[in-house]
């Protein structure tokens, strides 16, 4: 992990999730499409990530989720992209999400997706970002905005 990477400390009882923006060698960001039968954000593009389980640190959860959802292994945490607070459309209430720009090990061309939970994957460059808004209402562009910011930061060298 880079020295300047921030790791928030969750308050007791708060529900936290983590997210990973993975970039390939060409600088495109990975996203997977949630299956249409999912209760939370069905048929929408998403980054790799999920809930922090009891007793896990944010970074432990990040590594676990990357491996569970793609088969890749977390190699390096490059940058803290920020924390967002949101309420899902599944009725489970308020969540806090810590997102990171990461490097992974594994075959980036062939992720081992959880096909029961995801229906597709793709790599998104600056010209592809509008697709990340599919099946989301106006103002629900967290994934689009997060990936756009990560691509901008990489292009700026920050």
Does 7 reside within a domain? no
Residue 105 domain-assigned (yes or no): yes
Domain assignment of residue 83, yes or no: yes
Closest CA to 58 of 97, 114, 103, 102: 97
Output the pLDDT for position 151: 94
Give the chain's domain count.
Answer: 1
CATH code of 38's domain? 3.90.79.10
How high is the pLDDT of residue 71? 98
Q: Compute how many other C-beta atoms are within 10 angstroms of the C-beta atom of residue 133.
A: 16
Residue 25 placed within a domain: yes
CB atoms within 10 A of CB 94: 10
Judge whether 57 lies within some domain.
Answer: yes
Q: Is residue 9 part of a domain?
A: no
What confidence score (pLDDT) does residue 41 get? 86
Is 6 inside any structural domain? no
Distance of CA 147 to the CA centre of its chain: 9
Question: What domain range includes position 44?
Answer: 16-156
Cα dihedral 145, 56, 50, 16, rounded to 10, equals: -60
pLDDT at 157: 61
How many whole angstroms separate alpha carbon 117 and alpha carbon 120?
10
For the chain of 158 residues, list the mean pLDDT of each consecutive stretch of 10. Answer: 86 92 96 93 95 94 98 96 83 87 96 95 97 89 94 73
Strands in 118-124's sheet, in edge-to-edge order, are 45-46, 29-34, 118-124
Phi and psi angles of residue 77, each rounded to the nearest 5 degrees, phi first: -95, 115
Answer whether residue 1 is part of any domain.
no
């Amino acid at each position: 992990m880079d020295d300047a990477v921030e790791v928030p400390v969750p308050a007791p009882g708060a529900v936290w999730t983590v997210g990973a923006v993975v970039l390939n060698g060409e600088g495109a960001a990975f996203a997977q499409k949630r299956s249409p039968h999912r209760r939370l954000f069905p048929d929408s593009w998403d980054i790799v990530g999920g809930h922090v389980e009891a007793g896990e640190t944010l970074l432990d959860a990040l590594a676990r989720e990357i491996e569970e959802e793609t088969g890749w292994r977390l190699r390096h945490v490059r940058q803290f992209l920020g924390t967002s607070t949101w309420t899902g459309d599944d009725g489970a209430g308020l969540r806090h999400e810590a997102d990171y720009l990461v490097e992974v090990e594994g075959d980036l061309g062939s992720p081992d997706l959880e096909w029961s939970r995801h229906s597709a994957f793709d790599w998104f460059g600056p010209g592809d970002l509008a697709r990340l808004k599919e099946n989301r209402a106006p103002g629900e562009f967290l994934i689009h905005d997060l990936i756009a910011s990560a691509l901008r930061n990489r292009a700026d060298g920050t």
